[in-house]
Amino acid sequence: MPRALLLENIDPVAADLLGEAGYQVESLRGALDEADLVDALDGVDLLGIRSKTQVTAEVVRARPGLAAVGAFCIGTNQIDLAAAAAAGVAVFNAPYSNTRSVVEMAIAEIIILARRLVDRDRALHAGTWDKSAAGSHEIRGRTLGIVGYGNIGSQLSVLAEALGMRVLFYDLEDKLALGNAERCDSLEELLERAETVTLHVDGRAGNAGLFGAEQFARMRRRSLFLNLSRGFVVDHEALREHVLSGHIAGAAVDVFPEEPREQGDPFDSVLRGLPNVILTPHVGGSTQEAQHDIGRFVAGKLVDYTTTGTTTLSVNLPTVALHGSSAARFALLHRNVPGVLARVDALVGEHGLNVDGQVLATRGELGYAVTDVSAELPADLLAALRALPETVRLTTVGRRPR
């Protein structure tokens, strides 16, 4: 029976779907370090993780039987995608499922910071009645600057505008502005014009240290700042200094350079205790609705991959989807050199089979071909396909990955 290992408290719907597909599923609440992960993957075909488990090249090399990894989140920077691809391990994520959850949290925090509700809440809990409008503002008519105009940033743009905000955005790529949003030519331009700045960038290495003392200093005095993207993007010492000086009037931070691995672990940050600062434990996408949809979506991709060979929305393999059915199907991940498909088809013919359907796609140094044939696959054909010098991984689709 094929096995699946799900880490980091993934929504139970994922285990249900994988179980229905014939997998023996083990679910763990926490993340695993590299050594423990290698041990846990013994005999495992599918791995499901969120943001804290690191799937390194060493992990991939140590467990060649692993067929696929599901990142039950948006980002995949915790996975060595090149090493996974080279070993024939498909990687899938959920690029859209928690977009709305993050956007709603950003909107809520912008309002809370603008009204200084954090300080009002703390005062009242401490027994002090502080009924004052000092420093409290509506967000209508104020200017929001969005850094990163992808799925989350663009949807935030639409909702913020519906609440009466003016919207600016900056992105490295040329993105279509939605509604009345205005594109800025540089990050510096956005910082100088916006009254609230929110970060929604991806986890690429080039974004490390994107926002530091220089960027905070460029922001307008008494601005608001939010980071719901990646912890390593922001210099928290610089943010602390600018909050304490009064240059930044309030901040909301959901992600941190170092985060606890498991529920209940201790947490520390230089931002703790600052006035009008909201700290949340990486819960931007953690609504029940989003986690259920992520569990359903990624588990569905893993099942599709192992039962049909479909790699649609894989982040590291060529995209292939072969529709229809036949007596048998195999999927061949191979080095992208001329003539591989011709040799595959010749081998199929030599073993007395017809090709009923076939799709090939390439991505960089890899090619991926899914082939339907007219009868069951003989063992000697599979052996011949595996023996091709270009073969990275051969999978008989619908059976336990080999």
**CA pair distance 105, 255, nearest whole angstrom:** 13
pLDDT tens digits, one per residue of 241-281: 999 999 999 999 999 999 988 788 899 999 999 999 999 99
pLDDT for the residue 261: 80
Q: Where are the beta strands (DSSP E) in 123-255?
A: 143-147, 166-170, 182-183, 196-199, 223-227, 248-253
Report CA 58 to chain centroid distance, whole Å.
21
**CA pair distance 106, 283, nearest whole angstrom:** 11
**CA pair distance 192, 299, nearest whole angstrom:** 44
For the question of residue 259 being annotated catalytic, the response is yes
pLDDT for the residue 398: 65
| Phi/psi at 320 (5° precision) | -140, 140
- Quick check: 377 and 396 in contact, CB under 8 A? yes
pLDDT for the residue 75: 87
Among 5-19, 53-67, 112-126, 314-328, the least confident range: 314-328
pLDDT for the residue 240: 98
pLDDT tens digits, one per residue of 61-79: 999 999 999 999 988 999 9
pLDDT higher than 90, residue 203: no
pLDDT for the residue 321: 95
CATH homologous superfamily for the domain 99-279: NAD(P)-binding Rossmann-like Domain (3.40.50.720)
The DSSP bridge partners found for residue 359 are 370
Q: Is 286 helix (H, G, I), strand (E, B) or coil?
A: coil
**CA pair distance 306, 399, nearest whole angstrom:** 8
Q: How far apart are the first and last CA of the chain?
A: 13
Catalytic residue among 100, 116, 142, 282: 282
For the question of residue 282 being annotated catalytic, the response is yes
**CA pair distance 33, 55, nearest whole angstrom:** 9
Residues carrying CATH 3.40.50.720, the chain = 1-98+288-317, 99-279
Q: Which of 139, 52, 150, 170 is nearest to 99 (CA)?
A: 150
Q: Which of 207, 257, 199 is nearest to 229 (CA)?
A: 199
**CA pair distance 280, 262, nearest whole angstrom:** 15
Residue in this structure with the two tokens 């960038």, named with its chain if needed: 201
**CA pair distance 53, 6, nearest whole angstrom:** 11
pLDDT for the residue 204: 85
Rounded to whole angstroms, what are the CA distances from 91 to 38, 129, 263, 333? Answer: 17, 53, 26, 14
Q: How confident is the model at residue 399 (pLDDT cuts 50, 70, 90)?
A: very low
For the question of residue 58 being annotated catalytic, the response is no
Which CATH class for the 318-402 domain? alpha beta
Rounded to whole angstroms, what are the CA distances from 393 to 25, 57, 61, 108, 168? Answer: 23, 17, 14, 47, 47
Summary count for the chain: helices (H), strands (E): 13, 16
Output the average pLDDT for the chain. 95
CATH number of the domain at 1-98+288-317, please? Answer: 3.40.50.720
How many residues are listed for the chain in this entry? Answer: 402
**CA pair distance 219, 381, nearest whole angstrom:** 65
Residues carrying CATH 3.30.70.260, the chain = 318-402
Q: How confident is the model at residue 319 (pLDDT cuts 50, 70, 90)?
A: very high
pLDDT higher than 50, residue 401: no
pLDDT tens digits, one per residue of 131-174: 999 999 999 999 999 999 999 999 999 999 999 999 999 999 99
pLDDT for the residue 262: 79
Catalytic residue among 104, 182, 241, 259: 259
CB-based contacts of 264: which residues, under 8 Å, 6+ apart? none
Q: Kindly state the percentage of the chain with pLDDT values over 70.
A: 99
Catalytic residue among 230, 240, 329, 334: 230
The mean pLDDT value for 363-374 works out to 96
